[in-house]
Amino acid sequence: MKRNIAIGLIAGFISGFFATGGGMILVPSFLYLLKLEDKVARATSVVCILPMVVVSGIFYYKNNYIDWRMGILCAIGGIIGGYIGAKLLRKLDAKYFKIAFIFFLIYTSIKFLI
């Protein structure tokens, strides 16, 4: 129980501080620390991320940091992409998710450095 709360605390901090989805912390933590099955770990992280996003979003809203036009347009794309991603989750082997996630992290890390 304490481990679950600690994982949530770290993911929430990362989500609020870096404005990222806490899934970058949650999914690996669920997989390797809590030993959840791959698809269960991913789905559970989505449920955990929603409250983090709401709390962070309220803070950003109160400080007038939100570009609403861009946010709404990206949200529309995110809804469509989230649907497609969830459908693919049911069909693809976990190995492919891990490989794709590794490439995504490497790509975004390089982009942040350049």
Looking at the structure, do residues 71 and 114 belong to the same domain, yes or no?
yes
Looking at the structure, do residues 19 and 2 belong to the same domain, yes or no?
yes
Looking at the structure, do residues 61 and 114 belong to the same domain, yes or no?
no
| pLDDT at res. 18 | 72
C-alpha torsion angle, residues 16, 79, 66, 105 (rounded to 10): 50
Containing structural domain, residue 23: 1-65
Q: b or e along 7-29 (b: 16 or more beta carbons within 10 Å of the residue's beta carbon)?
A: bbeebbebbbeeebbbbbbbbeb
What total of structural domains would you count in the chain? 2
Looking at the structure, do residues 35 and 71 belong to the same domain, yes or no?
no
Average pLDDT by consecutive 10-residue portion of the chain (114 residues)? Answer: 84 75 83 91 88 87 95 92 85 82 86 86
pLDDT digits (tens, 9 = 90+) for 50-72: 888 888 889 999 999 999 999 99
Looking at the structure, do residues 54 and 10 belong to the same domain, yes or no?
yes
Looking at the structure, do residues 52 and 103 belong to the same domain, yes or no?
no
| pLDDT at res. 63 | 95
Looking at the structure, do residues 54 and 5 belong to the same domain, yes or no?
yes
Looking at the structure, do residues 73 and 61 belong to the same domain, yes or no?
no
| pLDDT at res. 19 | 67
Looking at the structure, do residues 53 and 1 belong to the same domain, yes or no?
yes
- Domain-ending residue, one of 43, 65, 87: 65
| pLDDT at res. 56 | 85
